[in-house]
Amino acid sequence: MSTNVDKMCYHLYMRSCKCVISGCEWKVMSLLWKSPLTSSEVCEKCGERFGWSPSTCKTYLSRLKNKGFIEAEKKGAKFEYRPKKGEEECVEGRACELAQETCGCDQKAMLISLIRECPLTKEDAEEVKKALEEKIAQAGTKGSPAGCGCERGKDGCGC
């Protein structure tokens, strides 16, 4: 492996993705990554932002706890929830999952769409540009992309 980009791509395809959570679970995690919250605080914020009932919110907290993404600590009469997995780890896991799901598809179009759809600061865009420049430097010749690292032909992959 010649660059960090190569290593990351290889690891994205060859390791199992360990951050498989639903869209609603992402919403709960996004609150907890900002700060630990009691169950009533999580339920209040989710009710205000997403229109969820307390029972719906508690269901997602329970699922995340059972999956090992959060932990609960008894604080008096309440439980305080905090993440066990960081946001970066979960984002990388989701990227891994998305890359595996779309292997053999037009990933270029997917990346372009993500860049266009995601709100980015100028600094964020510069970081994306730097990663793309690294990718350009290590890319194969026109018409011969570096393989994704999957087992050729597995699950219909056209790599």
Q: Which domain holds residue 66?
A: 23-83
Q: Tell me, what's the pLDDT at 49?
A: 96
Number of domain units in the chain: 2
**At 148, which amino acid appears?**
C
Instruction: Answer yes or no: are the C-beta atoms of 42 and 81 closer than 8 Å.
Output: yes
Same domain, 115 and 136: yes
Judge whether 72 lies within some domain. Answer: yes
Residue 30 tokens read as: 């996004």
pLDDT digits (tens, 9 = 90+) for 73-118: 998 899 999 999 999 988 888 888 888 877 777 888 888 998 999 9
Q: Does residue 6 carry a pLDDT above 70?
A: no
Q: Tell me, what's the pLDDT at 125?
A: 95
Q: What is the mean pLDDT of residues 154-159?
A: 52
